[in-house]
């Protein structure tokens, strides 16, 4: 059956139900109030493999003839497609090899191995791993399964749109993350087939916006780099085969800065108790950029495969961005009791001290000889300013210390 037709999408939707969890839409009261729209999430982060990629991988493998399977499968992935292929290959009893960038989170690597696939690490970004996968395919004769530039794979990913429209027939906008374009091409093509009035908007990291650049050029182009914390969408060149479908069916592209993903992660954890990886958060961050009101919007949360070290870092930087953690520097006279007095002032304003750095050697002036750096928790910007004002009132002249090395700088 020719891919990217309504009949093929219907077949793919039936087929992927054999291996996918039902990801019912989740209405977000928080983001609805914030945006002035009715916002729903399609939580593909809750799939068994932690991402939507199992849809395209399983459908692709299910359409292969026996000779193609017997050669074994080879693919490249930033992590999520790897697990999708490994899972689908295991069900089909087929050997799978996956090339991944060396910077791929350890959790994604270990999960891919646990599903029975052989993992080859190569290069710093997806495009490097893709090159190595092509080399291995040529050397071994293994059947290559492209993560996005494959119309059958994209048809499997498009099953998401079928589920969205069945559950919410009156949807106005669908926001979809873009790396190489497989998900966006499948979702936008099927959405337009089902209802031409649905607007499908792609969302890319600002520093890896290969699809936006390609659409502007009218042809597929390669970016010089793809430097973003959204590792699942760190792609320098989108797919050639799926590009005409994007040109025809996508209604626009929004680009997102990395620091916006940090705040979105915090919002999702606090308001929905869900872990969504940075690439999946693109459509959450995009809600603030969509200039519409009173519309029904579905944001596709494409994945949730994030290691705990990254989570901890995002939470810390998110709290700093929200002024819920901040650092001030004050100079104190070099005499007993001053540290206790500063702590008392902060406590009276309900600040919570996290860390103190006491440096007695910044000056030979004994009236202001000690620098005290105080890192503390606050309820937000207003509370932070209130604490600083109180310190000023007490004569401490606090200076805010800007945190270095935060994401997005």
Task: Give yes or no: residues 21 and 80 share one domain.
Answer: no
Residue 105 lies in a domain: yes
- In the structure, what pLDDT confidence band is assigned to residue 367 with cuts at 50, 70 and 90? low
Rounded Cα gap, residues 340 and 354, in angstroms? 15
Q: Is residue 385 included in any domain, yes or no? A: yes
Residue 409: inside a domain = no
242-245 contact pairs (CB < 8 A, 24+): 242/148, 242/149, 242/150, 242/151, 242/154, 242/180, 242/181, 242/182, 242/185, 243/181, 243/185, 243/214, 243/219, 245/4, 245/154, 245/185, 245/188, 245/189
Q: Which of 110, 144, 178 is the last residue of a domain?
A: 144
Q: Based on the structure, what is the number of domains in the chain?
A: 3
What is the residue-wise DSSP string for 3-53?
TTSHHHHHHHHHHHTTTPPP---EEEHHHHHHHTSEEEEEEGGGSTTSBTT
Measured from the Cβ of residue 385, the count of other Cβ atoms closer than 10 Å reads 12
- CATH code assigned at 85: 3.40.50.1100
Regarding whether 223 and 126 lie in a shared domain, the answer is no
Full-model pTM? 0.87
Residues 27 and 131 in one domain: no
Q: Indicate whether 361 pLDDT > 70.
A: no
Flag whether 59 is in a domain.
yes
Co-location of 131 and 159 in the same domain: no
407: pLDDT strictly greater than 50: no
Q: How far is CA 196 from CA 169, 294, 296, in A?
A: 12, 19, 15
Residue 342 within any structural domain of the chain? yes
Mean pLDDT of 297-310: 92
Residues 133 and 203 in one domain: no
Q: Which residue range(s) make up the domain with 275?
A: 6-53+151-318
The mean pLDDT value for 153-174 works out to: 98
What share of the chain in percent tops pLDDT 90?
Answer: 75
Taking phi over 0 as left and psi of -120 to 50 as alpha, with beta for the rest, 175 belongs to beta
Phi and psi at 41, nearest 5°, equal -110, 140
Regarding whether 212 and 186 lie in a shared domain, the answer is yes
> Cβ–Cβ contacts within 10 Å for residue 281, how many?
31
Residue bearing the bigger pLDDT, 124 or 149: 149
Beta strands 352-359; 370-377: pairing state: antiparallel
Burial class (CB in 10 A: 0-12, 13-18, 19+), 379: middle
Within a domain: 406 = no
250 shares its domain with 333: no
Give residue 187's pLDDT.
98
268 occurs within a structural domain: yes
CA geometry: angle 54, 59, 63, nearest 5 deg? 150
pLDDT of residue 406: 44
Listed residues 318, 346, 379: the one ending a domain: 318
Other CB atoms closer than 10 Å to residue 143's CB: what's the count?
Answer: 21
Do residue 177 and residue 158 come from a single domain?
yes
How does residue 164 score in pLDDT terms, banded at 50, 70 and 90? very high
Specify burial of residue 121 (Cβ count, 10 A radius: 0-12, 13-18, 19+): middle
Do 192 and 43 lie in one domain? The reply is yes
CATH label of the domain that carries residue 396:
3.30.70.260
Mean pLDDT of 199-223: 97
- The answer to whether residues 224 and 264 belong to one domain is yes
The answer to whether residues 77 and 11 belong to one domain is no
Flag whether 360 is in a domain. yes
Q: How far is CA 327 from CA 187, 352, 385, 401, in A?
A: 45, 12, 12, 5
pLDDT value at residue 329 = 92
Residues 254 and 285 in one domain: yes
Strand partners, 83: none
Of the residues 84, 119, 144, which one is the last residue of a structural domain?
A: 144
72: number of Cβ within 10 Å: 17
Residue 331: pLDDT band (50, 70, 90) is: confident
281 Cβ contact partners less than 8 Å away, ≥ 6 residues apart: 230, 261, 264, 265, 268, 301
| Average pLDDT taken over every residue of the chain | 92
């Amino acid at each position: 059956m020719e891919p990217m037709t309504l009949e093929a999408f219907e077949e793919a939707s039936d087929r992927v139900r054999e291996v996918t969890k039902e990801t019912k839409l989740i209405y977000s009261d928080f983001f609805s109030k914030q945006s002035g729209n009715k916002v729903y999430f399609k939580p593909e982060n809750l799939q068994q493999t932690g991402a939507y990629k199992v849809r395209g991988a399983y459908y692709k493998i299910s359409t292969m003839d026996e000779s193609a399977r017997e050669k074994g499968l080879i693919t490249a992935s930033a992590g999520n497609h790897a697990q999708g292929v490994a899972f689908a290959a295991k069900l089909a009893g087929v050997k799978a090899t996956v090339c991944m960038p060396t910077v791929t989170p350890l959790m994604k690597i270990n999960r891919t191995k646990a599903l029975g696939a052989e993992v080859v690490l190569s290069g710093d970004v997806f495009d490097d791993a893709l090159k190595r996968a092509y080399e291995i395919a040529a050397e071994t004769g293994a059947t290559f399964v492209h993560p996005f530039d494959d119309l059958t794979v994209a048809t499997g990913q498009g099953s998401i749109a079928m589920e969205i429209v069945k559950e919410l027939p009156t949807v106005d906008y669908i926001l979809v993350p873009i790396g190489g374009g497989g998900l966006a091409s499948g979702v936008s093509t099927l959405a337009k087939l089902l209802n031409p009035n649905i607007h499908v908007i792609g969302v890319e990291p600002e520093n890896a916006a290969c699809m936006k650049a390609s659409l502007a050029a009218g042809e597929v182009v390669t970016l010089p780099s793809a430097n973003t914390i959204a590792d699942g969408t760190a792609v320098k060149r989108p797919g050639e085969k799926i590009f005409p479908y994007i040109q025809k069916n996508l209604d626009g592209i929004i680009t997102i800065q990395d620091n916006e993903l940090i705040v979105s992660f915090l919002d999702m954890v606090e308001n929905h108790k869900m872990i969504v990886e940075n690439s999946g958060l693109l459509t959450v961050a995009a809600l603030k950029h969509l200039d519409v009101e009173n519309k029904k919007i579905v944001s596709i949360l494409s994945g949730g495969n994030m290691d705990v070290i990254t989570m901890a870092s995002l939470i810390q930087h998110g709290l700093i961005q929200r002024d819920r953690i901040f650092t001030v520097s004050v100079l104190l006279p070099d005499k007993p009791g001053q540290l206790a007095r500063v702590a008392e002032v902060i406590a009276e304003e309900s600040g919570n001290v996290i860390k103190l750095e006491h440096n007695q050697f910044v000056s030979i002036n004994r009236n202001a000889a000690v620098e005290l750096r105080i890192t503390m928790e606050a309820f937000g910007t207003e509370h932070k300013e209130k604490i600083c004002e109180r310190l000023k009132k007490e004569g401490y002249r606090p200076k805010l210390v800007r945190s270095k090395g935060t994401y997005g700088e």
